[in-house]
Amino acid sequence: MFYILFAFLLLSCNDYGVNKVIQTDPELVVYPENIEFGHLQSGFESGQATFAVINAGDEDLIISHPELIGGNDRFSLDDNLEENYTIGPGVTQEFNVYYIPETFESNGALIRFVTNDEDENQYELPVTGFGDAPVMTVAPEVFDYGQISIGCDNEERITIRNDGNLSLSINNITQMVTQPQDIIMEMGSLPQLPWELLPGQEVDFLVSYIPVDISYDESVIRVEGSDPVLPVVEVVQYGEGDVEHWHTQVHIQEEIAMLDIMFVIDNSGSMNIFQVELANQMNSFMNVFISSNSDYHLAFITTDEARFVEFDNITWIDHLYHDPVYWAENVISSIGIHGSGMEMGIKYAALAFQGDAGPASNFWRDYATLVIIYVSDEPDISPGGWSQYTSVFDNLKTTDLMRQFAVIGDYPAGCLYNWMHGNRNVQFGAGYYEMTQRYSGDWYSICAADWGQQMQNLANTVTTQSMFRLDEPDPIESTILVSVNGQHVMNWTYDYTLNAIIFDSNSIPLPGQTITVEYAVWGCGDE
């Protein structure tokens, strides 16, 4: 859509300001040094820009192996940029690059090619662009009222938000219900459709559930808007009438006998202090397994490569290794901070276990619990988002044999890390957090003041279960009673977000102990 001009270079000897100097070899000149498409409206606008490759030398310039790195396939090159392209002395060759944004996004890529210029053997041309669009977010998309006492009125608020940077039109909202008298959409005093939501603006309405019998009820609410990527969102709500108030859940704590543990370590430039903390406190982590004679495997990868990091020509160790702490400390110390700034830990964790020839093909065991631990000070930006990789892990292990943990910026807003050079803001570890929730794990703060205690707590949690989810939503917190082997205990907290009981790290029930949780749910029937 637009063309990059080079008018200010007209004062020199040729169109691109390259003085003709006698050379004895090819000399690469690329103009401009970066391409900026600016802002384009996604779904309606596309961009075209031109860059020039100039041979300022005295011999043929050959460019080869052109490729686009990154950019989520939003950028493309001319078809005439062939595998090997020859540019004669003093000749200027122009190429086009195109940009088509899909949603509200910031995109960046590198145009990379190899040349026979000894000073510019590999050249990288940065390309950036911004997509402008409305983004329709509807939350929650799925809600389970659970078992509700007959006659009780339970409400859920549905929020429609514009997370983009252009105005969002909400054109229609419709509801299909199995029991119209049970699940009711309440628009209240809201104006008639369509609605226009400015960037950051939101609107909400209520859906109430009043069960009249013990049958299962379901509602599907269809929201239609002008989001170019997701124009329709369906909200599913369901519940079941019940006459019971009290619920009891019983769990038996089991020791995890076999563990295959793989750390995924962020190796970007901001991770130096955290890698040091991790290496220094690996003894706190490893001693838990050593003292309990656990049957474990241990390996490390980074957030930009699925290859196992090795030390002393060893890619992973087991419980028979003579000095596991020394080995682990040295592996972490060797990782460094020169990796990619585009942290894709989930992608490379999945790649490590994908296929029989993957790096972890002889690492994991069929009957062992696979534990993946992410350590990063940035959110995960694996292509497609974290959910694109769950199928790899789901096909690899059953739910009871897969756990994922993370040492990340705090949920949900990040944290402040205090170090020798002052305070530093650390972003929330989005993506990694979702994987911990998906695979029965937990997250730990990368900003923790005491990494030693935290790593010990992590190891204890890995070997035993500290979190026990409640089956019923919305318990009356003041009624929750927890017992271990018949004795009431108080060393736990209730996490509303997870709807779970979480034991203190130094009070996790031992293997074989019975955990009983009793609680009441909100209801309006007879006690």
Residue 361 has, within 13 A of its CA and on its CB side, a CA count of 6
Query: Which are the contacts of 318, defined by CB distance < 8 A and separation ≥ 6?
Result: 295, 296, 297, 298
Please give the Cα distance from 328 to 289 (Å, whole number). 13
pLDDT for position 465: 75
pLDDT for position 219: 85
Collapsed DSSP state (helix, strand, coil) of residue 165: coil
Domain 136-243 has CATH 2.60.40.10: yes
Residue 417 contacts residue 410 (beta carbons within 8 Å): no
pLDDT for position 34: 94
Give the predicted TM-score (pTM) of the model.
Answer: 0.48
Question: Of 193, 131, 196, 203, which is closest to residue 161 (Cα–Cα)?
Answer: 203
User: Any idea what DSSP says for residue 473?
Assistant: S
pLDDT for position 301: 97
Q: Are strands 422-426 and 481-484 parallel, antiparallel or unpaired?
A: unpaired
Please give the Cα distance from 188 to 204 (Å, whole number). 10
How many residues would you count in the chain? 527
Residue 513 contacts residue 253 (beta carbons within 8 Å): yes
Which homologous superfamily does the CATH classification assign to the domain defined by 7-132?
Answer: Immunoglobulins (2.60.40.10)
Rg for the chain (alpha carbons), in Å?
Answer: 29
Residue 166 contacts residue 214 (beta carbons within 8 Å): no
Stretch(es) of the chain classified as CATH 2.60.40.10? 7-132, 136-243
Question: Of 24, 78, 96, which is closest to residue 56 (Cα–Cα)?
Answer: 24
Backbone angles phi, psi at 349, to 5 degrees: -65, -45
Residue 308 contacts residue 316 (beta carbons within 8 Å): yes
Please give the Cα distance from 434 to 441 (Å, whole number). 10
Buried b (16+ CB within 10 A) or exposed e, 459-476: bbbbbbbbbbebebbebe
Count of beta carbons in the 10 Å neighbourhood of residue 187: 11
Question: Of 430, 459, 157, 69, which is closest to residue 294 (Cα–Cα)?
Answer: 459
Please give the Cα distance from 319 to 155 (Å, whole number). 52
pLDDT for position 80: 67
End-to-end CA, the chain: 69
Please give the Cα distance from 496 to 478 (Å, whole number). 13
Query: Which are the contacts of 7, defined by CB distance < 8 A and separation ≥ 6?
Result: none
Please give the Cα distance from 312 to 40 (Å, whole number). 51
Q: Which amino acid is at 14?
A: N
Please give the Cα distance from 29 to 57 (Å, whole number). 9
Residue 500 contacts residue 467 (beta carbons within 8 Å): yes
pLDDT for position 2: 36
CATH number for the domain formed by residue range(s) 258-463:
3.40.50.410
Query: Which are the contacts of 206, defined by CB distance < 8 A and separation ≥ 6?
Result: 155, 156, 157, 158, 185, 186, 188
Exposed, middle or buried, 295 (CB in 10 Å: 0-12/13-18/19+)? middle
Written as tens digits, the pLDDT of the chain (527 aa) is 333 333 333 333 344 545 544 546 899 999 999 999 999 988 888 999 999 999 999 999 999 888 889 878 899 988 766 678 899 999 998 889 999 998 888 999 999 989 999 888 999 999 999 999 999 999 999 988 888 776 577 888 899 999 999 999 999 988 876 655 677 777 767 778 899 999 999 998 888 887 766 678 888 889 999 999 899 999 998 888 765 567 899 988 876 668 999 999 999 999 999 999 999 999 999 998 888 788 999 999 999 999 999 999 999 999 999 999 999 999 999 999 999 999 999 999 999 998 776 788 889 999 899 999 999 999 999 999 999 999 999 999 887 788 999 999 999 999 999 876 678 899 999 999 999 988 878 899 999 989 999 999 899 888 887 778 898 887 777 778 999 999 999 999 898 877 888 887 667 788 789 999 998 776 564 44
Please give the Cα distance from 179 to 197 (Å, whole number). 31
pLDDT for position 161: 95
